[in-house]
Each structure stands twice: as structure tokens, then as C-alpha cells.
Amino acid sequence: MKAAVFHGKDVGLKIEDIPVPQISADQILVKVAACGVCHTDLHYIEHGVPTFKKPPIVLGHEASGIVEKAGAGVTNVKEGQRVLIPAVLTCGRCSACRRGRENICSAMTMVGNHFDGAYAEYVAVPAKDVLDLPETIPLEEASIIADAISTPYHAVKNRAQVKPGDTVVVFGCGGVGINTVQMASATGAYVIAVDINPRKLEWALEFGAAKTIDATKVERVSKEIKKLTGGGADIAMEVIGNPKTIVEAFESVRVGGRLCVVGYTPEVISIVAGKIMFKELEIVGSLGCRPVDYIPLIRMVEQGKIDVKKQVTHRFSLDELGKAFEVMKEGVSLRSIVIP
Ligand SMILES: [Zn+2]
Ligand SMILES: [Zn+2]
């Protein structure tokens, strides 16, 4: 089968012919319909972030497809079934999993990171983790639910706890950010989107933002937000992972407000601790989503509350995967998918 194999930072990605993966009794072989192209892959390819499985490894972690073959012990999935493969698989046994917080599982594994992923014609995954995709959701575009939409669902619903009527400011309108805008807006919030790319701010308006702020055009974003909201947002969500933006997001919430950090940075941030106490602020982090979140989330897509079709702006074949990363870097794509 054809696959995009990553050989480490020096060699990079190569399109190769490799054997179709073997499956064990509890696994299924999925014929990949599409795989979303994610910024995380760029971290492995260009920024030296190591993959858990040493290269060579097939990347790609946002996949949908059709079950080609089920292992001897599989009872929950049938051949020919349309499935979504979650980006992260959980162990079900560690203390976080036992507390119902599988998304922070201490033994989690990730498709296209711990084992071969879905920039390929076929991928092998445990049958217990996949989700049924209803016929009403387009199979190829559904791939992006696996990460770009599931992460915002958990962040907006469970961690930021957005309620109808809340004022929510979203910092960063990339793939996950735009869906944070869409999810918060679908929940009934008044959403203010912040970015430095005018095209992304236009998209934010299309996906439900009530107002946008171009961070390059104002003196201080937090000041602008306080002006727009009469004292600060109920909730600020940082979806970039930039230390300065996280501080700015912290500064934009009202007394008693909440900051939800969705973007990742290894760096230290500096905030005035007294403000947390005196203003009774809440700071929460958000990582991925739990298996239990997928069913309501898929239903929201089915009902049209969350749009997947409009946000897939580019489609590529496996051979063109390099081009998908180019358009991502240029900031001209909202979400690209690869059709093997
Ligand atoms: Zn991803
Ligand atoms: Zn676990």
C-alpha cells in the first residue's frame, strides 16, 4: 500500500510502498477515506519534536474510513462499517481513566505517533476505540472530527464550561481555534475572535464570531476586550500556545472570570498571583477529549450545529502531502485533508 513514511527530521517524509498492516485479534483494519492534516505533524517533521515510535513511522492522526477487516475477537464493529478513529486512545485502567478523565490517561497512545498512522491506504487500530459514523455525515470531511473538532468540544463544554449568553473570547483562529469559535457560538455564547491574520478573522465571522479583533491593529487586546464587554469577558480561551497570548487572555477576563488554556507551550508565563485571589479567577487547562464526548459531538455535526464540510478548504492526494503543509504554513488553508 501507499503511505507517507516519516524518516526523522533530516530525511523527512517519503511516499513509499509498504506492506498493509497486520491486525491482532482485538484490532480492525480500516481503509482510510481521509486523514486531516494537522499542525502537530509539522512539529515532528520540521521542529524536531520526537515521535514516541522511532522513525520510520507513518504519520497522520485524524482519520475516517471503512472497516476492511475485523480481528477474530472483535464483536463491536463489522466489516463495511463507516468509522471515525479518535486521535488519542486511552488505556481504561489507570487512575485518570478510572475517574472518568480518560483524556489525561497516563498510558494514552496516539495514532501516527506511538504507532503507524493514517497517511496511508490502510491503518490498524483497536476495535474498542472507533466510533460509528452515521450516513448523514460526509465520510471524508468527518475525519477532522477526530481532533480539530473533538478538542474544542471538551474545552468549551467541560473545561471552560461555556453557557448560553456567556461572553467568550477566543485567542487564535487556526484549525482548533476556529472550531472553538464555532463550538462556543453553537452553545449560545457571544464570541469575540482574536488573530493576526485577516483571512482567519473572516473565517471566524463565518463560523459564528460576533466580533473580531486584529491583534496587530490595537494597542492592547485585553484593553479592547474590556471596552467591548464592559469590564472583561466571562471566559477567555487561548488556542495558540504562546506565553504572551496566554497572559493577554488572562488579563481579558472579568472579575470572577475563567481562563481556559488549550494551546501548548513548554515556556514559563508570568502573571500577578494576587489577581487570581482578589478577582476570584479560575485557570483551567484542556487536553483532547474523552471517549464519552464523541457521541454528543457526532450528533452536533449530524444536526448541522457544527459544520465540517465548509471548513475543509483543501484536498490532496498522498503524493501531494508536502503541498498540504505548504498551504498550512502560508495560512491560506483552514483545514486540509488527504485522500489516500
Ligand atoms: Zn491533530
Ligand atoms: Zn488510562
Q: Of 129, 30, 31, 128, whose CA–CA distance to 75 is shortest?
A: 128
Same domain? For 238 and 335 the reply is no
pTM for the whole structure: 0.93
What is the whole-number distance in angstroms between the Cα of residue 180 and the centre of ligand 1?
Answer: 14
What is the whole-number distance in angstroms between the Cα of residue 287 and the centre of ligand 2?
Answer: 14
Beta bridge partners of 168: 191, 235
Same domain? For 216 and 252 the reply is yes
Looking at residue 331, its pLDDT comes to 85
Residue 97, CA distances (Å) to 89, 102, 248 in order: 11, 4, 33
What is the whole-number distance in angstroms between the Cα of residue 285 and the centre of ligand 2?
Answer: 18
Looking at residue 109, its pLDDT comes to 97
Looking at residue 243, its pLDDT comes to 98
Torsion angles phi and psi, residue 82, rounded to 5 = -85, 125
Same domain? For 315 and 239 the reply is no
Largest CA distance in the chain: 62
CATH number (domain holding residue 327): 3.90.180.10
Alpha carbon distance 214, 218 (integer Å): 7
Q: What is the extent of the structural domain holding 270?
A: 150-285
What is the whole-number distance in angstroms between the Cα of residue 276 and the centre of ligand 1?
Answer: 32
* Cα 336 off chain centre by: 13
Same domain? For 20 and 139 the reply is yes
CA 1, 318, 340 angle in degrees (round to 5)?
60
What is the whole-number distance in angstroms between the Cα of residue 33 and the centre of ligand 2?
Answer: 28
Closest ligand to Cα 63: 1
Domain end among 285, 315, 330: 285
CATH number (domain holding residue 160): 3.40.50.720
Beta bridge partners of 3: 16, 120
**DSSP, residue by residue, 16-84:** EE-PPPP--TTEEEEEEEEEEE-HHHHHHHHS-PPPSSPSSEE----EEEEEEEE-TT--S--TT-EEE
Same domain? For 133 and 10 the reply is yes
Closest ligand to Cα 90: 2
Same domain? For 123 and 26 the reply is yes
What is the whole-number distance in angstroms between the Cα of residue 273 and the centre of ligand 1?
Answer: 33
What is the whole-number distance in angstroms between the Cα of residue 39 and the centre of ligand 1?
Answer: 6
User: Which three cell numbers, joined as nine digits, stand for 218?
Assistant: 490595537
Same domain? For 83 and 121 the reply is yes
Same domain? For 77 and 203 the reply is no
Number of domains in the chain: 2
Which residues of the chain have a pLDDT value below 70?
none
Same domain? For 181 and 221 the reply is yes
Same domain? For 6 and 134 the reply is yes
What residues sit around ligand 2, an ion, with C-beta below 5 angstroms?
90-91, 94, 97, 105, 107
